[in-house]
Amino acid sequence: MNLRQILDQVSKGTMSPSAASRQIEATREKNLGGFARVDTDRMRRRGFPEVIFAQGKTPEQVRKIMGALAEAGQNVLATRASRAQFESVREFFPSAVFHETARIIALDVKPSSVPVGLVGVLCAGTTDIPVAEEAAIVAGKMGARVKRFFDVGVAGLHRLIHQLPELDKARVLIVAAGMEGALPSVVGGMTRCPIIAVPTSIGYGTSLQGMTALLAMLNTCVPGITVVNIDNGFGAGVAAAMINRLPEQHRTARRKAIR
């Protein structure tokens, strides 16, 4: 029962205000025996549902949380998921899909909207693909049309230069890189759209599990680059999808204001 139906019943006198209050609270979250309080109201507030961070959760916990969101009529994503967690979910939801490279479980209970705009997802090397793929799938599930540009790192700059005409068609770019983290700065100096940089934990000893790339990206001299946490493809995908779905008139006004 949605909010309008509850209020209609109150106005007709078929539901008391106290009962309506309990119903409204029930539509906002679902308490799963104390181990999780599922935010079923997030779709209304933010335009996309709660996403499950599966790492550290048992397969049963992941399955129950996914079930609560699916019961609320929302498509579900679980990030940092394992094969064991997926098998537990698939036992109850056969239509669930496991994106193994990105470590994402996806469960669609309603048709997805037609993808709009364009989010470009780049990564420096093949070993950065899992983080980039997480970003790409999340952005796609949140309504963006996505195009991937993988293995275009600065060690072979010609690989990136060949992609520039396509990159300029994007509304926003996600750029993932490990090692010294140079790729977002290079892309930012050659393209015209906002960039979300993702440092990855790939590299030899002094990469410090991604700290070197993170600090390099934070210290970029290129304006228009925003940086998320190390390996946080999920956060980059959400931010890119939100930028991508801004109405065109807002983007046009913003470009004029910048000029």
Side chain identity, residue 180: E
Domain that holds residue 54: 32-111
Q: Is residue 132 located within the same domain as residue 248?
A: yes
Over 60: is that where the pLDDT of 247 sits? Answer: yes
Judge whether 14 lies within some domain. no
Q: Is residue 55 located within the same domain as residue 145?
A: no
Over 80: is that where the pLDDT of 37 sits? Answer: no
Q: Is residue 154 located within the same domain as residue 242?
A: yes
- pTM surpassing 0.85? no
Judge whether 258 lies within some domain. no
Lowest mean pLDDT, pick from 5-19, 45-59, 64-78 = 5-19
Lowest mean pLDDT, pick from 38-42, 172-176, 245-249 = 245-249
Q: How many domains does the chain have?
A: 2
Check residue 114 and report its DSSP letter: P
Q: Is residue 103 located within the same domain as residue 229?
A: no
Over 70: is that where the pLDDT of 25 sits? Answer: no
Say if residue 43 is exposed, middle or buried (CB neighbours under 10 Å; 0-12, 13-18, 19+): middle
CATH of the domain at 165: 3.40.50.1970
**Residue ending a domain, choose from 111, 129, 152:** 111
Q: Is residue 243 located within the same domain as residue 121?
A: yes
**Residue ending a domain, choose from 48, 78, 111:** 111
Residue 249 has a pLDDT of 46
Binning pLDDT at 50, 70 and 90, where does residue 53 land? very high
